[in-house]
Amino acid sequence: MKSGKERVVATTILGIRRGGKAALGCDGQITIGERVMKHNARKVQKIYNGTILAGYAGAAADAITLFERFEAKLEQFHGNLRRAAVELTKDWRMDKYLRRLEAILAAMDRDYSLVISGEGEVIEPDDGIVALGSGGAYALAAAKAYLDSSKLDARTIVRKSLEIASSIDVYTNDKIIIEEL
């Protein structure tokens, strides 16, 4: 690495909503530089009394900090996903400490799918699919194909799409974890 600092390439995250359900999944691999450091990392979880799914890509310590801040915002705004996301990004942009965090969050409930970034963005994808990380584009393409051509449920589409991403992207493995609402 040119900077002397090894880049953490930490995941592939994919979430979709279908048939009244939401599913968010991740691979389990954490890679630092050219080394696989962990195979079974859990980078997705249910939060706010099990009503919201959240996952992260990026540096784990940074992401945990953001999860904690995001959960506090969800409590403050009584589980209102969109409002909590906007308020988190406001803090993220204005706080000197938070601005240095290297992570991006995906958050979903049964109605909304959001990508929350440190650049102050809250993005609600048109198709409701959230995809992050090094294999995100591969998983996204696979999920779109499954959504258009099959009657598979959300969980199955997430699993199959992450499996495809793991077969293409060296920073994504097939130790898949999925949470569902």
Residue 21 is which amino acid? K
| Neighbouring residues of 33: CB distance < 8 A, sequence distance ≥ 6 | 1, 6, 7
Mean pLDDT in residue range 108-127: 88
What's the pTM value of the predicted model, to 2 decimals?
A: 0.88
User: For residue range 84-100, what is the model confidence (pLDDT) as tens digits?
Assistant: 999 988 877 776 656 66
| Active site residue ranges | 11
Longest dimension (CA), the chain: 48
Annotation: CATH topology of 8-173 = Glutamine Phosphoribosylpyrophosphate, subunit 1, domain 1 (3.60.20)
Q: What is the pLDDT of residues 40-65, one digit of tens each?
A: 888 899 999 999 999 988 777 777 77
> Can you give the residue ranges of every domain in the chain?
8-173
Q: DSSP readout, 110-133? A: SS-EEEEETTS-EE--TTS-EEEE
Looking at the predicted structure, is the pLDDT value of residue 118 above 90?
no
